[in-house]
Amino acid sequence: MVVIGMLATDHPKITIYFYNFTSSFPVPGFILRELLEQKLNKNIINFDLNISYILETRNNIDIKLRIGRSVIKSISLDINNISNKIDEKALYIIDKTSGKIYKAETFSSQGYLKIFISNKMRSSTLNINGIHMHQISRFSPYKDSEKKVQYAKIKPGERVLDICTGLGYTAIAALLKGAGQVVTIEINRYILDLAGANPWSYYLGSKRIHIINDDALRVLPLFRDGVFDKAIHDPPRFSIAGELYSLDFYREIYRVLRPGGILFHYTGQPMRSRGRGLGPIVRGIRSRLEKAGFIVLRYVDDVYGFIAVKPR
């Protein structure tokens, strides 16, 4: 943890977390299930972001996690500690000391949180009370975030605000687009803990990503005017976090963006069936963005959100 004040105005400090990942080893449930079904024959499975699990066995399972050519984690797991009732769509944490396995799940004030994954998705998603936080039918969860970043038109060296970190895919995609600094805000510490167990969140450990574990309603007023070049607002659904869709909150996003700065705002498609193309909730979002001062350029259907710009 590092405490810095360079982004604040009259406030002396903002607490920034530079992510340190857990020492436990994450393995998708479908890999454990396939190992049991195939009696632990050698298997290699490749994932996005150049991550590979290399699985071999004798009496134990020897597992290595690679980023590029570098092995960053390695563990030998006693097969006697693996249950034959593995949830193939879950992510499991292996305790390196005891060899016991635990499902990546937790309960918080928001309800039941877990990592959801299948061998068709190519990256995991966060599931809150049975609701997926990314699209999983048309493209992978990471691709979903990558497309949101694409619409924000992030350029090398820019400073990016990411509201609602989740598993960190948006922050990571902005980083890989060349952002000089990404400040990402997440209120729920349990979600960040799950991100720490998620292999696709590995690049959250970059020193160019600053994670603020706090309420965005409280944090945004601490930033000075025009400090960010781009912003991506990816909140939970309106019924869960209506305050993140308010006019006052949009005014804060507007204030911290520089003139000409672009906002991508994920909205989803609540009540879309109620006529005129977009439902009343999404139409209300557009109206409040415009009242806050934004020029709303368009709504993009593939990732369900508005592209808006702060006038120069």
pTM, to two decimals: 0.81
Residue 165 has pLDDT above 90, yes or no: yes
pLDDT the model gives residue 48: 32
- 255's tokens: 């204030």
Counting residues of the chain whose pLDDT is more than 90, the rounded percentage is 41
pLDDT the model gives residue 73: 53
pLDDT tens digits, 100-153: 677 888 988 778 999 998 877 778 899 988 888 887 777 888 888 999 999 999
* Three-class SS state of 155: coil
| Confidence band for 4, pLDDT divided at 50, 70 and 90 | very low
Contact (Cβ atoms closer than 8 angstroms) between residue 142 and residue 173: yes
Measured between alpha carbons, how far is 29 from 91 in angstroms, rounded to an integer? 5
pLDDT tens digits, 62-101: 555 444 455 545 555 555 555 556 788 888 887 666 666 7
The secondary structure of 67-120 as a DSSP string is ETTEEEEEEEEEGGG--S---TTBEEEE-TTT--EEESEEEETTEEEEEE--TT
pLDDT the model gives residue 123: 82
pLDDT the model gives residue 8: 43
Residue 240 has pLDDT above 80, yes or no: no
CB proximity list for 41: less than 8 A, separation 6 or greater:
57
Counting residues of the chain whose pLDDT is more than 70, the rounded percentage is 71
Give the least confident one: 31-35, 52-56, 112-116, 282-286: 52-56
Q: How many CB atoms lie within 10 A of CB 132?
A: 15
The secondary structure of 21-75 as a DSSP string is --SSEEEEHHHHHHHHHTTT--EEEEEGGGEEEEEEESSEEEEEEEETTEEEEEE
pLDDT tens digits, 190-204: 999 899 888 888 888
| Confidence band for 279, pLDDT divided at 50, 70 and 90 | confident
Task: Report how far Cα 208 is from the mean position of its chain's Cα atoms.
Answer: 16
Owner of token pair 């699990």: 53
Beta bridge partners of 93: 26, 102
What fold characterizes domain 2-20+139-309?
Rossmann fold (3.40.50)
pLDDT the model gives residue 54: 35
Would you kindly state where each structural domain of the chain is located, as residue ranges?
2-20+139-309
Q: Which burial class, exposed, middle or buried, applies to 103 when counting CB atoms under 10 A from its CB (0-12, 13-18, 19+)? A: middle
Round to the nearest angstrom and report the end-to-end CA distance of the chain: 36
